[in-house]
Structure 1
């Protein structure tokens, strides 16, 4: 396992549409392991492969509360995830993103969604998501489609964030 570098806004790769995973291979499993290590190190609760510059439809997530499990972890992998239905009811959560560090804003999304994905055994699964899980899975699936949570903000807020991160990137060079 290895901690990979997380790409940061305004990196253009964040706008790429990720390609489907054709088959669950040892490389895909290793990528998922690296993603978990990277996500936990960051620390974050979700990571899309594109955030480490790998344009594949793969997400790792762990939204377990520290006291849920003995070790506080409940890692999950979603391969080729898609939202197949969404509630009309909306909910608002304050979102952040490992690719947009230390920036948080409230985002409105469907309160519940039904998702379909493949697990690491190649089995197709459908399940309902609500609460933090619904918000997080929608946020990460957006990444696979080149969409960032700041795209849901007003043009003024979005432009401010883009300008700030563009300046930071120039300074870092």
Structure 2
């Protein structure tokens, strides 16, 4: 298993500012101190830390909260520079939210799809981003067991967006990076539109 740490006292103080039924404040790119958190590279989290369940519960409450609901959220978006994200699984029955501890995307397909993305940390901005159609990732559960999975389509797009957050990359960074590349259209279908 990757070297991981328990949540710090500062992180625990932030976590327990509310209970598991309360959404957390979502960090914004327009606030310099919050942007710094969003741009940091995250460190591993100890899956067996008893407080991780509370963090997952509060992140779930945050990403499903009313008008600002999304389809994915990463720990830095609520102030934790830890390798954890939640994603709505559009590739599974009933589209459940699942959490991914210490995820690593170990393979990206060269076939890309383009779709409009937004972000809970970047208000009122939606732009087209290229993402791999298929990814392969590894991650851990709360007992420290490791899993490996291949994910396709929209769910793979959400995972790539959230994984970028763990590496201090916002979708706006991808737009700048991709503007410098050339892409060849493989289809004539209408691009997908979605928010993450």
- Tell me the SS of whatever aligns to 1:5: coil
The alpha carbon displacement at 1:111 in A equals 1.2
Q: RMSD across aligned C-alpha pairs, in angstroms?
A: 1.8
Q: Check if 1:51 corresponds to 2:77.
A: yes
List, as ranges, runs of 4+ consecutive aligned residues in structure 1 with deviation greater than 6 Å.
none
Inter-partner Cα distance in structure 1 for 2:149 and 2:90: 17
The alpha carbon displacement at 1:20 in A equals 0.3
Q: 2:88 aligns with which of 59, 62, 65?
A: 62
The alpha carbon displacement at 1:25 in A equals 1.9
- Tell me the SS of whatever aligns to 2:51: helix
The alpha carbon displacement at 1:6 in A equals 0.1
Match of 1:20 in 2: 44
TM-score between both structures, scaled by the size of structure 1 = 0.81
Structure having the larger proportion of residues in helix: 1
Inter-partner Cα distance in structure 1 for 2:117 and 2:167: 18
Query: Retained in 2: the 8 A contact 1:115–1:128?
Result: yes
Q: Residues 23 and 120 (structure 1 numbering): CA distance in 2 closer, same or farther, change over 3 Å?
A: closer
Query: Retained in 1: the 8 A contact 2:47–2:141?
Result: no
Structure 2 residue ranges without an equivalent (≥5):
1-19, 180-196
Superposed, which structure 2 residues align to 1:98-109 within 5 Å?
Answer: 98-109=120-131
Q: 1:5 aligns with which of 25, 29, 33?
A: 25
Match of 1:111 in 2: 133
Q: 1:121 aligns with which of 143, 147, 150?
A: 143
Query: Retained in 1: the 8 A contact 2:136–2:149?
Result: yes
Match of 2:158 in 1: 136
Inter-partner Cα distance in structure 1 for 2:90 and 2:112: 23
The alpha carbon displacement at 1:33 in A equals 0.4
Matched residues, number = 151
